[in-house]
Chain A
Amino acid sequence: MATWTAEVFQNEYLPDGATDVHAIITVTCADSGQAGDDGSGAAEAIIIDCSGSMDGPQTKMIAARQAAAAAIGELSDGTWFGVVAGNGGPVIAYPPPALEVGGMVQADTRTRAQANYAVSQLRARGGTALGMWLMAANDLFARTPASQKHAILLTDGKNEGETEQQLAVAISRVTGQFQCDCRGVGADWDVNELRGIATAMLGSVDLIADPAEMAADFRTMMQTAMSRGVANAKLRVWAPLGAEVLFVRQVEPTIDELSARRVEVTNLISEFPTGAWGDESRDYHVAVRVAAKPLGSEQLAARVQLEVGGQVVGQGLVKALWSDDSALTTRINPAVAHYTGQAELADVIQEGLAAKAAGDEVTATFKLGRAAQLAAETGNDEATNRLKKVVDIEDAETGTVRLKRAVSKLDEMALDTSSTKTTRVRPS
C-alpha cells in the first residue's frame, strides 16, 4: 500500500493588511508498487509516427521500430497493450483485428513476440494527423478493462494532416481518458503543439535529437510507467470561505499550471488530476488570497490534500498569521522564491524564443537575458547550458546577453522543450 507525505514550506507570517499566502507543498509517494497493482490493471499504447518523413533519413524509421520494440520489452506480464501506426489515417499495428476485436491484448511472451514482429513491419508513408492517432489510441483503451492507461507518442513532424481545430477537438475528447508522454524526433516538429498535447494528457514532452537515443528513452519511459503503482491521484485544495485560490501549479519536476484543470468539488474545495504516481516527489506551489485579519490573528489559508480512490491520503496545512514583527513578515521562504523564479524562467524562455522566431530581436534579447539571470540565480545549470547555445551570456548577474547569429534549430528546440524542467531548491 502506497504511503503519502505532504510537507509544507512557507512563511506564514504576513504583515498588517496583507492578503496573499504562498506555499510550496512537497508531496511524496512511497511503496507505490507496480502499475495495475490496484486490481483493475494497466494498459499501454505505443503510438509511432509512420509518416513519409520518417524515412528521411531512413534511420528515423529504423530507430522508431527499435524503440517500440524496447518499450514492448518493458511491459509487465498482464499489461494490456496495443501499437498505433500513425500517418494520415491511423492503423492499429497490433493487435491485429483477428486476434482481438479492435481492443488490446495482455502482455505475455507470445503477444510481445507478435507485437515485435508487427512493429518490425512498420513502413513510412503518408502524413501526420496527431488528433486521429490519439483518437485511435483512445478507442483501443476504451475496450480494455484497465483503469490505469498510458501512452507514448512519437512524431517527427508538425500536425499537417488535420486542422488545428480538429486536433483541439481530439485533445479535448481524450483528455482525462489516458496519460500521454510525447516525444519529438528531429527538428521538424512543433514544440508548442506537442507540449499542448503532453500538458493536457498529464505527460512529459521531450526532444530526441539523435534517433539512436530513441530506444533507451522509450525503455525508460515504459519502465517509469510500469513502476507507477498508484493509478490516479488528485490534488485537492481547500480554501476558506471568501478566499480566492490564485493558482495551483506543479513546480517540480516540471512547471505545470494546474489551474486550467480545476474541477470544483464544493464551493471551498477544488480538485486537480495529477495522474499516476510511482515512488516519487512532486512539488506544488499554491497561492491563496484571503481577507486580511487583525494583527495577531491566525487562520488556515489552505488544506492541500492528496486524494486516491475517494480517500484523503495526505494533507499539508498552509497557514496565515498576521504580525507586526517585520523580522518575521519580510522573510521570503526560499522554496517559494526558488520556484517563483523557476516558473518565470520557463515563461521568459518560451516568450524569448517566440519573439526570436517572430524576428523581434529586442524582446528576444531582453527575455532571454532575464532567463540567463534567473537560471543563474536559481542554480538551474541545465537551463544555463541550453541558453548558452542560443545566446552569448555576457553577464548573468545583470541578465546581459547577445543573441547568437548562427543557432542550430535543435538547440533552440531543446531549450524550448526543457524550459519547464525545474531544479530543486539548493541546500543553503
Chain B
Amino acid sequence: MTDGSATAGESPVTNRLSCPSCGEHAGTTDAFCESCGSLLKPQSLPPQRESAGIQTNPSDRPCLACAGKVGSDGWCTVCGMKVSNGREHVIEQPASMVAGVSDKGIVHPRNEDAAALAADPDICWAALVVCDGVTTAADSDVASLAAVNAARALLAAAPRPPNTSAEARIAHWSEQLIAAAAAANRAATETAHAIGDVENPPSATFVAAVADRDVLVAAWIGDSRAYWLPEAGPAEQLSVDDSWATAQINIGVSRDVAEASPQAHAITRWIGPDGPSGDASTSATTARSPGWLMVCSDGLWNYCSEASELAKLVYSLADSSAAHEPLPLAESLVTWANEQGGHDNITVALAFVDPTAEIAPTAEIDPTASEVEMKESF
C-alpha cells in the first residue's frame, strides 16, 4: 500500500503514529507498517501506544462473518475470523485479452487495492484501471473500488474513433483518461462524504491505461504504474510516480537508493477529498510488436521496478502453452510477489496487445494505415 502522507509543502499530517522500525507514518488501526511491513503493535506495545490501538476508527466495519467488532490486530474480537472485505483475491476478466488479479498479499490484513477492466477484442481495445487505497486513511478500500468502477464506466462509454490517426487517438484517449481520473476522484470523494468527517479521509492512487490497437495511453495520480512490455524491443514504464522517491531520482539519487528509502512510498499526489488538485499526468507510446500492457500497484513493482527487469520476469513466468493468456500470467505475477514477501496488496492488470493482428471484419478498418506506419517509425 501507499502512504498518503505528503512531502514537505503538501497538506500537513497531524496526530499520526510512526513505525518504530522505519519512522513511517502509521494509521491508528494499522497492525503493520505501510512502508517496511514491521509489526506496529502486537509484539510489543509501549503502553502509550496501546490507548491508540484500542481506539476504534469511526469507519471500522464489523466482521463479515459475525458482525462483531474487528480488533486492531486485524482479527474479529468475537469469532476470530480474519478481517475481510471479500477482496482477499479478486479476479477480473471481462474478455479473454485482458485479466486483472488483486490480492491481499501476506502482511496486510486487508486488500485495499482495486482493479476494473474493460475490453473490446473486436477492435483491439482495452482499458485497465488500478487504484491502491491508502492504508493509513479510513475506508480506502471502499474508495479504491468506487474509483476504479467510475473510471472504467467512463472509459467503456467513451467514443472510440475508428478512423483517426494515432496522434489523434493519443490525444483523444489522454483526454478521456484525464476525465476518468477526475471521475475516480469524485467517486473516492463521495465515499469519504458517506463516512462523515474522519481524521484521515479515504484516499487512493490512480492508474489507468488504454490500448487502442497500436496506441497505448496511460494516466496516473500517485505511484501505481503502467508499463508496456513488448515481446520485441525495449520495455517502457509509461507512468512516472508522484512520489518522494521520484523527487529524489529527479535530483540525481539513484533509483535503487531512492526506492529503498523509508519515505520512498510517500506519495505526493492522490485521489480523495484531501488530494492535491490538478489533472492526471499522461503519457503515450506506440506498440510495434505484440506485448503486454500492464498496470499494477506497488505491491508488485516493489519487487521488480525497472521496466526491463519486469519484462524479463513477465516473459519468464508466461506459460509457453498459454503465452498470450493474461489470467494465468497475472496469477503467476501475484504468486511471485507473495513469494517475495507479499508485504503489500498486489494488483496486476494485463492486456495482451497485438498491433499486427487483423482487426475483425465487423470493425471498421482505419483507412489511414499509412499514417500509422509513419507514426510507428517515430
Contact = CB atoms under 8 A, between A and B. Distances in A.
B78 to A, nearest CB: 5
Given A241-B66, A303-B73, A317-B73, A290 B80 contact: yes
Interface in B93-151: none
A238 B73 CA distance: 13
Given A315-B41, A317-B73, A241 B79 contact: yes
Contacts of A45: none
Contact of B78 (A241, A313, A315, A317): A241
A298 B82 contact: yes
A428 interface: no
A299 B81 contact: yes
Interface stretch (A3-11, A77-85, A408-416): A3-11
A7 to B, nearest CB: 8
Given A241-B66, A313-B50, A317-B75, A299 B82 contact: yes
A358 interface: no
Interface of B is mostly: loop
B44 interface: yes
A149 B77 CA distance: 34
Interface of A is mostly: strand
Interface residues of B, number: 23
B45 A312 contact: yes
Given A1-B46, A1-B47, A5-B43, A315 B73 contact: yes
A300 B81 CA distance: 6
Interface in B13-65: 41-47, 50-51, 53-54
Given A312-B50, A317-B75, A243 B45 contact: no
Contacts of A313: 45-47, 50
Contact of A300 (B44, B47, B76): B76
A249 B23 CA distance: 38
Interface string A226-263: 00000000000011111100000000000000000000
B78 A240 contact: yes
B80 A311 contact: no
A268 interface: yes
A5 B44 contact: yes
A313 B47 CA distance: 6
Contacts of B76: 240, 300
Nearest to B65: A299
A7 B39 CA distance: 13
A313 B73 CA distance: 14
A46 interface: no
Interface in B232-283: none
A212 to B, nearest CB: 43
Contacts of A4: 44-45
A317 B53 CA distance: 15
B79 A299 contact: yes
Contacts of A299: 75, 79-82
Interface string A1-45: 101111100000000000000000000000000000000000000
Contacts of B73: 303, 315, 317
Contacts of A303: 71, 73, 75
A290 B79 CA distance: 10
A239 B75 CA distance: 12
B84 to A, nearest CB: 10
B64 to A, nearest CB: 13
Nearest to A307: B50
**Which of B46, B51, B76 has the most A CB atoms < 10 Å from its CB?**
B46
A281 to B, nearest CB: 13
Interface string B333-365: 000000000000000000000000000000000
B45 A314 contact: yes
B42 A316 contact: yes
A4 B76 CA distance: 23
A300 B70 CA distance: 12
Contact of B80 (A3, A7, A243): A243
Interface residues of A, number: 27
A374 interface: no
Interface string A88-120: 000000000000000000000000000000000
B78 A268 contact: yes
B130 to A, nearest CB: 26
B44 A3 contact: yes
Nearest to A288: B80
A388 B71 CA distance: 51
A70 interface: no
B44 A301 contact: no
A316 B73 CA distance: 10
B80 A315 contact: no
B72 to A, nearest CB: 10
A240 B44 CA distance: 22
Contacts of B53: 312
A169 to B, nearest CB: 38
Contact of A315 (B45, B47, B82): B45
Interface string A296-336: 00111101000010011111110000000000000000000
A240 B71 CA distance: 12
B160 to A, nearest CB: 42
B250 to A, nearest CB: 41
Contacts of B68: 241
A241 B80 CA distance: 8
Contacts of B79: 240-242, 299
A161 to B, nearest CB: 46
Interface string B181-200: 00000000000000000000
Contacts of A240: 76, 78-80
Contacts of B66: 241
Nearest to B53: A312
A237 to B, nearest CB: 13
B82 A300 contact: yes
B168 to A, nearest CB: 51
Nearest to B46: A3
A301 B51 CA distance: 24
B44 A314 contact: yes
Contacts of B41: 315
A287 to B, nearest CB: 15
Contacts of B54: 312
Interface string A264-278: 000010000000000
Nearest to A268: B78
Contacts of A316: 42-43
Nearest to B66: A241
B31 to A, nearest CB: 10
A245 to B, nearest CB: 13
18 contacts: A1-B46, A3-B44, A5-B43, A6-B42, A240-B76, A240-B78, A241-B66, A241-B68, A299-B75, A300-B82, A301-B80, A303-B71, A308-B47, A312-B45, A312-B50, A313-B45, A314-B43, A317-B42
Interface of B: 41-47, 50-51, 53-54, 66, 68, 71, 73, 75-82
Given A241-B68, A314-B45, 6 more contacts: A268-B77, A299-B81, A303-B73, A311-B47, A311-B51, A314-B43
6 closest Cβ pairs, A-B complex: A240-B80, A300-B80, A300-B75, A299-B80, A5-B44, A315-B42
